Amino acid sequence: MSPVKKKPAMKPTKRPSAKAPSVAPAERARKIYAILEQQYPDARCALTHHDAFELLVATILSAQCTDARVNMVTPGLFARYPGPSEMAEASPEELEGIIRSTGFYHNKAKSLLGASGKIVEEFGGKVPQTMEELLSLPGVARKTANVVLGNAFGKNEGVVVDTHVGRLAVRMGLTKQTDPKKVEQDLIKLFPRESWTLLAHLLISHGRAVCNARKPMCESCALAELCPMIGV
């Protein structure tokens, strides 16, 4: 009886391996931006707002919460408290009740009351327009300040780095950092100042539509030739 021949072991299927684009970093960044701008011509801030105060409040509420949920909460919130003077006088319990569904409502209510009070007392009831002054408000860190400055006042002082932006920046080889502040500094070096605000919206749009966390659609990605697909 002849011996049974063993079938050769099948090699495991692999995702496309990371490749190192030969284009210089600044040129690659320019091309990435141009392609994303074509792919997402309507990219903009997803938080519904009509003025700087509404955007500030919405951004504070968006921490650990979806933009969609925040947009469901803010119409009722602003109907009750249309400006910083009204919100500064709000009952903490009532405010918490309105924003409860956004999560972490106790801390968020404290931030909203503190920020509104300081805006009224120190800034004449107007949301300040500098990074330093915004960072002095309770509940406002650099990300929130960048959102307000870029989208309410048209000032490109930095790049908003949320979970989408941070993830895509690493995958695309635009940074090796994971700390949002360090990621922002790397992006600032690669992209011109006038693009900083829109850059975040473009990366967020791409992160939601194509380059999602669990199953990025690299095969159909318009950036495939420029992306080293790090960590994919």
Residue from 31, 143, 176, 181 carrying the catalytic annotation: 143
CB 118 within 8 A of CB 136: yes
Taking the C-alpha atoms of residue 39 and residue 41, their distance in angstroms, rounded to an integer, is 6
182 flagged as catalytic: no
CA distances 13 to 16, 46, 112, 212, Å, are: 10, 38, 51, 21
> What does the DSSP 8-state code read for residue 132?
H
Residue from 31, 67, 110, 162 carrying the catalytic annotation: 162
143 flagged as catalytic: yes
Helix (H) or strand (E) segment spanning residue 148: helix 142-152
Report which of 117, 123, 141 is spatially closest to residue 131, judged by C-alpha positions. 141
Q: What is the DSSP string of 133-180?
A: HHHTSTT--HHHHHHHHHHHS---SS----HHHHHHHHHTTS-S--SH
User: What separation, in Å, do the N-terminal and C-terminal C-alpha atoms of the chain show?
Assistant: 49
Residues with catalytic roles? 143, 162
